[in-house]
Amino acid sequence: MAKTVLVINSGSSSIKYQLVDLETGEGLASGLVEKIGEPVDGHYKHEYNGEKHELEEPIHDHEQGLKRVLGFFDEYGPSLGEAGIVAVGHRVVQGGSIFPDPALVTDKTINQVKDLAVLAPLHNGPEAKGAEVMRALLPEVPQVFVFDSSFFFQLPKAASTYALNKEIADRYHIRRYGAHGTSHEFISSVVPDIVGKPAEGLKQIVLHIGNGASASAEISGKPVETSMGLTPLEGLMMGGRTGDIDPAVVFHLIRNAHMNVDELDALFNKRSGMMGMTGYGDLREVHREIEEGNEDAKLALDVYVHRIVGYIGNYTAQMGGVDVITFTAGVGENDDIVRARVCEKLAPFGVKLDLEKNATRSKEPRIISTPDSSVVIAVIPTNEELAIARKSAAIAEAGEDTYGNKTA
């Protein structure tokens, strides 16, 4: 009988889900719930066996949304009762210092995830709510929290520590936690096989570039650096986030623009980055604007590439070299222009891109550098759902997590 895990990613107004086959690693069914709690009709999409089923209706809360999702499995398939479901895995952005490992969903861990919302206010609350609802809807199936920050909990202290007053940093748990850890861990674990190099001693840089974007460095599969910090705001320029910026900009805007905390939060997290500079969060639109001669779009792409190259240089120096650079996530996997621009900047260091391979669209892992390139350049589709499914299944089959919580 097949073994599957239902992976849930709950956002403030959306839910993404996928039923993962643990043996093949394939997504058997997937879907999306959008516009939860909004005054307009919400939208459901459920895909299975090559068929797409959609529905629009008001969606008042996550409980209503998830009940409808379970109804889609019953109505359109596959039946969860016959799919061999062994766990439900819930992606959580921020586990803080409390959760270096995945954890079973219990009353205690739900409250702890809610408490950690101060570090990820846009994510942790909805993620805790999604787990709470699914636990009630499927009480016989183990529910597991898998934390994006867990992988980077292994960072060296020199990389995870801010040069902030120690008493304040300790009291308010201020350190660099990182994000997208599930993706970075997955990619760095599969790179050795794909490039044909031993994992031991391998120096990697992983570029997870999508609407949210982060870079990481790994030696022998262990993280030594990452670009996101206390929150996902730090680091690379993103779709709506500033990435790195002088903190004194906050003081300047408070004093001179009289902006409050909520306004600054929205400005830095939603109204900046590519969106703030061009009016578009989608790089395809930015490329179109550049072709039409838009100087703002050209500058934005220049800044975008400049930041990526800067992190590559930083991490290469920190590791004492680099063997493989991998592009992943929406932009990393699909935008050959960004990849080419980044690698062009690295050409003086012996990086050579195979232009034909770079321009070829594919969903398969592939090497896009030439055989004589000083660094292997790879494109590998991320699969956070599979990583979450495997971690969740391991805990469900063990019957307990590392914190002593038991499945029954």
- Please, which residues have CB within 8 angstroms of residue 36's CB and are 6 or more apart in sequence? 12, 13, 14, 15, 42, 59, 60, 61, 62, 65
Q: Is 271 annotated as a binding residue?
A: no
The pLDDT of residue 122 = 72
Q: Is 11 annotated as a binding residue?
A: no
Decide if pLDDT at 1 tops 70. Answer: no
Decide if pLDDT at 113 tops 90. Answer: yes
The pLDDT of residue 14 = 86
Global pTM reads 0.91
| 148 is annotated as an active-site residue | yes
pLDDT tens digits for range 66-79: 999 999 999 999 99
Q: Is 256 annotated as a binding residue?
A: no
Decide if pLDDT at 126 tops 90. Answer: no
The Cα-based distances of 317 to 313, 321, 398 in angstroms read 6, 6, 41
Q: What is the DSSP letter of 272?
A: S
Q: Is 330 annotated as a binding residue?
A: yes
Neighbours of 166 (CB within 10 A): 10
Question: Of 148, 246, 302, 354, which is the active-site residue?
Answer: 148
Bridge partner list, 87: 5
Q: Domains along the chain? A: 4-155 (3.30.420.40), 197-328+330-381 (3.30.420.40)
Q: Is 16 annotated as a binding residue?
A: yes
Report the percentage of the chain scoring pLDDT > 70: 100
Mean pLDDT of the chain: 94
d(CA 33, CA 150): 27
407, 396 in Cβ contact below 8 A?
A: yes
Measured over the CA atoms of residue 139, residue 180, residue 103 and residue 393, the dihedral's sign is: positive
